[in-house]
Amino acid sequence: MNGALMNYDYLIDKALEGQKKSLPTYSNFHVGAALETADGKIYLGGNIESASYSLTICAERTAIFKAISEGERNFKAIAVVGDTVEFCAPCGACRQVISDLCGDIDVVMINSRRETKVLKISELLPFAFTSKDLE
């Protein structure tokens, strides 16, 4: 089904759950992510900040690396939530990692009113550099 028509309510709840576990000590900007595998398992992530600021990791990459490190390889969608009225869009680094490691999945961007905007990662990152470009 076209991602924009999918009901991702269950994944929004999980992204909000991930947001509660974020650790944005310095920015106080809480982000949550929920990554769904092809067979329906869900991995949560929150952004985690370090006192050495640049070592911060975003919520999306937390969820993706958790899943990959557990052996998951096939994914369906990732939901991302922040506390802003704008839809929380993945940063450039996360777009690369989503495109590269998750394939062309739906990205469910959520705002503080629980409204969503759903786009394929190929729409958020056209002409991506992936493992195919290394062949």
Q: Which stretch binds ligand THU (CB under 6 A): 51-59, 71-79, 102-110, 111-119?
A: 51-59
77 binds ligand THU (CB under 6 A): no
* Residue among 105, 62, 113 nearest 84 (CA): 113
* The only residue of 8, 43, 44, 60 in contact with ligand THU, by rule CB under 6 A: 60
Q: How many residues sit close enough to ligand THU to count as binding (CB under 6 A)?
A: 13
- For 13, 19, 67, 130, the CA distances from 42, given in Å and listed in that order, are 11, 14, 9, 24
Nearer to ligand THU among residue 1 and residue 85 (C-beta): 85
Residue type, 38: A
Q: Does 79 bind ligand THU (CB under 6 A)?
A: no
Active site residue 60: yes
- Contact criterion met (CB below 8 Å) for 42 and 14: yes
Q: Out of 17, 60, 86, 123, which one is annotated catalytic? A: 60
Distance CA 69, CA 80 (A): 20
Number of C-alpha atoms within 13 angstroms, CB side, residue 123?
A: 12
The contact set with ligand THU (CB under 6 A) reads 24, 27, 29, 31, 47, 49, 56, 58-60, 90-91, 94
Write out the catalytic residue numbers: 60
